[in-house]
Structures are given as structure tokens and as C-alpha cells.
Amino acid sequence: MDTRLLLISNSTNAGEEYLAYPMGEIGKFLRGVKAVRFIPYAAVTFSYDEYEAKVQRRFDGLGIKVESLHRFTDPKGAVQSAEALVVGGGNTWCLLRKMQEFGLLPVVRARVAAGMPYVGWSAGSNVACPTIKTTNDMPIVEPSGFEAFGLVPFQINPHYLDANPAGHAGETREDRIREFMVENPSVWVVGLREGTMLRKEGSDLQLIGGCPARIFRQGEPPREVNPGDDLRFLF
């Protein structure tokens, strides 16, 4: 599948402005694009209008217009006519449920398969996977199922953390992923640390950023992969 994907772990690094670190890669990925359709449905504690305006302020520097789906009476038609699609972060459960309500899953799959560029960060990277089962988000709403876009055959855990804070007696992020693997033994999971992203161009998959990703699969020891490593084994 000659898909074009930019799957970003997080929108903002600590101490930086919103979308500061990924903007260079977003600009290169969307070179030549004049307008993007934006899916804001992961927003919970702020409005879709506010979300659109926040992203537009950053995309102004790229000369790209941001058009949020909540402004369209026909969201499916808006995706079908999009130059490129951007899916923002927030709560993955809210994002998926709203997209299910509007019937967007098959439309997005078809457009991305036909070559439409897709950019997602955090929740927007989660929904590019076969399911949302490796999200970190609290399930504050109940979608009709866990199935997502399936633009890649592996799962992503955005904001992946190695830390096990002193005095913390609960599960670590790796513990949670190991639980997932017991029930889904054939599925690869990419622990995508903050400040990193995956870029897919056709059959080429690259890790971009300043640190490695951690790769999991049932029956195999976790492995670290670095920017520049061959990631085709994930397919």
C-alpha cells in the first residue's frame, strides 16, 4: 500500500511551544499542500473552534489553511475532497466514537490508500493503528468497538515512558503492553517515546527524532530501534 503517513508521539515537548518540535517534519511531509482537513474530535476540555484556531496558528507558518471537520455539514464529503488529513491528539476514545458516529473510518481508509497524506499526533497516531487497544487514555466514553483506521499493521503506544517512579506500586507502561501481548500475541507494538515520530512513504518506514523506539512482541525480548534502522519487519 503506497500510503503516506506521519505518526507523531506527542504534540509538544516539555518547555516548548505547541507543535514546535514536529513542525519542520510536518512542513516537509505536507510540502505543496495548500489546505488540510482537521479532525478535532479528541478535544474534551476545550472546544473544536479553539482546537482549530490553535492548530491554525502553528500551520500559518507553513502557509497551510486548516479546515476543521466540525464546520462541515457532510464530514464524509469533507474527507473525500481533502488534499491531506490531520488528526489531533486528546482523548482517543472520544475521537473514535465521534468518527464512528459520522461513518468516517472506511472513508479515511480509502482516501489514505489512494495516496492522501495523513498526519496524526498522540490520539491521531493511535487511530492509525488496527485498534485503539494501546492508547494511554481513560475510557471516558464508550465507542461501538475498538477497531480504528488500520493504516499500519502494528500498534503504537504514544508518549511511551520507561520511568517507574520511586514509591509507585502500580503497573509500568511496559507492564501494560505485556498484558496486551498476552491477548494479542502476533501483534507488534511500537513504544513511541516523546519527541519522535514515524514517517511512512510507500514501503519505507522511518523513525525520526532524538531517541530510539521500543519494540514489543509476545515471545521476544523488547528491542530498541534507532532512527535509520530498517523497520520493514513491522510489516
Residue tagged active-site, from 49, 159, 162, 168: 159
Per annotation, catalytic residue among 122, 162, 229, 230: 122
Going by the DSSP 8-state scheme, the letter that residue 138 receives in this structure is: -
Is 70 a known active-site residue? no
Q: Choosing from 137, 175, 186, 204, which is the catalytic residue?
A: 137
Whether 159 sits among the annotated catalytic residues: the reply is yes
Edge-to-edge order in the sheet of strand 196-201: 65-68, 35-39, 85-87, 118-121, 4-8, 196-201, 204-209
139 C-beta neighbours (distance < 10 Å), count: 13
119 phi/psi in degrees, rounded to 5: -120, 130
- 3-class DSSP state of 14: coil
**Cα distance between residue 190 and residue 99, in whole Å:** 24
Tell me whether strands 213-217 and 220-225 are parallel, antiparallel or unpaired. antiparallel
Task: Give catalytic residue positions.
Answer: 122, 137, 159
